[in-house]
Structure 1
Amino acid sequence: MLRVTLWEFGKLFLLRSVRLGLLFALILPLVWSLAPGLKEVYGLVLASGWQVVALGLLAGMEFLFPFLVIMAAAELLGSEVAQGTLKTLLLRPLSRTRLFLAKLWAALLYPFALLLASFVGGLLAGLPHGLSGFYGGTGVGEGGFVGTGYLTAGEALKELVRAHLLAGVVLWPLAALALLLAVAFLSTTASALASVAGLLLMRLLVAFPALKPFLLTTYLDLYLRPSALGLGLPLLLIYTVGFSILAALYFERKDL
């Protein structure tokens, strides 16, 4: 199973959209560190390179990273259908369930690869501003960019690593949803558009207060709200597992 998963993960990085996504994630912190409107948007005057790392995360998680994860997960299956290689794979002595699980693991690992690229890009872009201790906040911890006083380099690193790991988990349900819709539509474009439309619809449902605590979109900023982990993290995992099980069952019975 591990060999098949690594094989699928390797195939993922052969996709042009994935390579471009990693490139965008790498350069995004650099672009934001040079932006002249940081004070107007975030009320921020850069005091440390650690804040540049956070800027890349905050900007990317607004739309870019979720969209890239959805596209990658959809293309994992959609590209196989478009190229006609999926039927060939199914002729091999490999069960549909194992093949789907390998694609699922690859889709769930990709958000962390994307966030790692953003983290590395943030560190490189932040070097001119220094990566030592400073007075202020990273932007993903208590007090936001203002902070609560002096922050050591170790504390800043810890806050940013925690936020990036949580952001990866936040992106899991999106990857699972895109894979489910890819099984349903057998098309990269259709499944990606349907996934984005589903997220937009869920955002609109915040107008129903009784539904808001159970909506996936309510917790897309969970990496900034540790106080919501008690309900948010289990709910995100339930969404991920639920979408994954539905996709696996559908893939097992789908006429390909």
Structure 2
Amino acid sequence: MLRLVLLELFKLFRLRSVVLGFAFALLLPFLWALAPGLKEVYGLVLASGWQVVALSLLAGMEFLFPFLVVMAASESLGSEVAQGTLKSLLLRPLSRTQLLLAKLMAVLLYPFVLLGASFLGGVVAGLPHGLGPFFGGTGLGEGGFAGAGLLTPKEALLELLRAHLLAGAVLLPVAALALLFGVLFLSTAAGALAAVATLLLMRLLVAFPALKPFLLTTYLDLHLRPQAAALGLPLLLVYTLGFALLAVLAFERKDL
């Protein structure tokens, strides 16, 4: 099973959407580091390179990172169908469940690798602004970018690591949902569009207050609200496992 997962990771990281995703994740921090309008838009004058890392995460999680994860998860199966390799894979002595679980593990790892690339790009882009102690905040902790006094590099690093891990957890059910629709439609475009449409529909359901605490989209900003992790993380795990189980059941019964 480990060899199968490694093979699926190798295939995933060769997909065009994944290669482009890494490129965008690495370049986004440099755009923020050079952006002339930060003061007008955010009321921010960069005081530290750590803030560049935070800006990249905040901007990416608005739409870019979820979209890249949706595209990669959908393409992981859709590319097999388009190239005609899926049927040959199923002729090997492995079950459909094993194959889909290997793909699932690969796409669930991808969000953390993508965010790791963004983090690395942010650190490099922020070097000219310094990574030492500074007066202010990362934008992801107490006081936002204004902060609450002197922030040490260790404190800044811990805040950013926590936020990136929470953001990765948020993207797990998004990846599982996209893979589920990839199984249902056996198409990259259709799977991605269906996943995005489902997320948009969930956002509209905030008009029903009783449902809001249980909606996946309520926790898409969990990296900004770590205090909500006690309820948010278990719910995100339930969504991830639920979408994964539905994907396995659908794949077992899918006429290929």
Shorter-normalised TM range? over 0.9
What residue number does 1:155 align with?
155
Q: 2:37 and 2:191 mapped to 1: Cα distance?
A: 35
**What aligned pairs does 1:89-168 form with structure 2 within 5 A after superposition?**
89-168=89-168
- Following superposition, the deviation at residue 16 of structure 1 comes to 1.2
TM-score, reference length from structure 2: 0.99
What residue number does 2:241 align with?
241
The one-letter code matched in structure 1 to 2:233 is L
Q: 1:45 and 1:225 mapped to 2: Cα distance?
A: 23
More moved, 128-137 vs 36-45: 36-45
Q: 1:12 and 1:230 mapped to 2: Cα distance?
A: 32
What residue number does 1:186 align with?
186
Q: 1:41 and 1:6 mapped to 2: Cα distance?
A: 43
Q: 2:215 and 2:44 mapped to 1: Cα distance?
A: 31
What residue number does 1:210 align with?
210
The one-letter code matched in structure 2 to 1:145 is F
Q: 1:41 and 1:234 mapped to 2: Cα distance?
A: 35
What residue number does 1:171 align with?
171
- Structure 2 unmatched runs, 5+: none
- Following superposition, the deviation at residue 34 of structure 1 comes to 1.3
The one-letter code matched in structure 1 to 2:241 is V
Q: 2:89 and 2:46 mapped to 1: Cα distance?
A: 51
The one-letter code matched in structure 2 to 1:243 is F
Query: Deviation per CA, 1:143-188, whole angstroms, max 9, x where unpaired?
Result: 1111111110011011111111111110000000000000000000
- Structure 1 unmatched runs, 5+: none
Matched positions, count: 256
What residue number does 2:224 align with?
224
What residue number does 2:79 align with?
79
What residue number does 1:42 align with?
42
The one-letter code matched in structure 2 to 1:126 is G
**What aligned pairs does 1:23-42 form with structure 2 within 5 A after superposition?**
23-42=23-42
The one-letter code matched in structure 2 to 1:232 is G
What residue number does 1:200 align with?
200
TM-score, reference length from structure 1: 0.99
- Following superposition, the deviation at residue 41 of structure 1 comes to 2.3
Q: 1:242 and 1:133 mapped to 2: Cα distance?
A: 43
Query: Deviation per CA, 1:202-240, whole angstroms, max 9, x where unpaired?
Result: 111111111111111110000110111111111111100
Question: Identity over aligned residues, as a percent?
Answer: 77
- Following superposition, the deviation at residue 40 of structure 1 comes to 2.6
Establish whether residue 13 from structure 1 lines up as the match of residue 13 from structure 2. Answer: yes
SS in 2 for 1:94: coil
Query: Deviation per CA, 1:68-104, whole angstroms, max 9, x where unpaired?
Result: 0000000000000000000000000011111111000
SS in 2 for 1:139: coil
CA RMSD of aligned residues (A): 0.7
- Following superposition, the deviation at residue 248 of structure 1 comes to 0.6
